[in-house]
Amino acid sequence: MADNRKVMRVLNGETVYPPPVWLMRQAGRYLPEYRETRKQAGGFLDLCYSPDLATEVTLQPIRRYGFDAAILFSDILVIPDALDRDVRFEEGRGPLMTPIDAGGIAGLDGSKLLTHLAPVLETVSRLRSVLPEETTLLGFCGAPWTVATYMIAGHGTPDQAPARLFAYREPEAFSALLDLLADLSADYLCAQIEAGADAVQIFDSWAGVLGETEFEQFCIRPVRKIIDRVRQRHPQARIIAFAKGAGSLLADYRQKTGADAIGLDWSVPLSFARQLQDQGPVQGNLDPMRVVAGGRALDEGIDAILAALGQGPLIFNLGHGITPQADPDHVAHLVERIRAA
- 38 catalytic per annotation: yes
236: exposed, middle or buried (Cβ count in 10 Å: 0-12, 13-18, 19+): exposed
Q: Which of the residues 150, 253, 265, 290 is marked catalytic?
A: 150
Is 159 within 8 Å of 245 (Cβ atoms)? Answer: no
* Dihedral sign, Cα of residue 28, residue 100, residue 145, residue 232: negative
Q: Which of the residues 25, 238, 254, 290 is marked catalytic?
A: 25
**Residues near 252 by Cβ (< 8 Å), separated by ≥ 6?**
none
H-state helical runs in 42-157:
44-48, 51-65, 78-82, 102-106, 113-116, 118-130, 144-153
10/284 Cα distance (integer angstroms) = 13
Is 312 within 8 Å of 279 (Cβ atoms)? Answer: no
- 128 catalytic per annotation: no
229/223 Cα distance (integer angstroms) = 10
- Cβ atoms within 10 Å of 217's Cβ, excluding its own: 17
Q: Which of the residues 5, 9, 38, 221 is marked catalytic?
A: 38
Which one, of 271, 211, 213, 280, lies nearest residue 240 by Cα? 280
Is 80 within 8 Å of 48 (Cβ atoms)? Answer: no
Q: Which of the residues 29, 64, 128, 274 is marked catalytic?
A: 29
54/37 Cα distance (integer angstroms) = 9
- 17 catalytic per annotation: no
- List, in sequence order, every residue forming a beta bridge with 242; answer none if it has no partner: 203, 263
Is 141 within 8 Å of 203 (Cβ atoms)? Answer: yes
- 25 catalytic per annotation: yes
Residue 201: phi and psi, rounded to 5, are -125, 140
- List, in sequence order, every residue forming a beta bridge with 203; answer none if it has no partner: 142, 242
* Dihedral sign, Cα of residue 315, residue 316, residue 319, residue 323: negative
331/326 Cα distance (integer angstroms) = 8
Q: Which of the residues 9, 30, 49, 75 is marked catalytic?
A: 75
| Residues annotated as part of the active site | 25, 29, 38, 75, 150
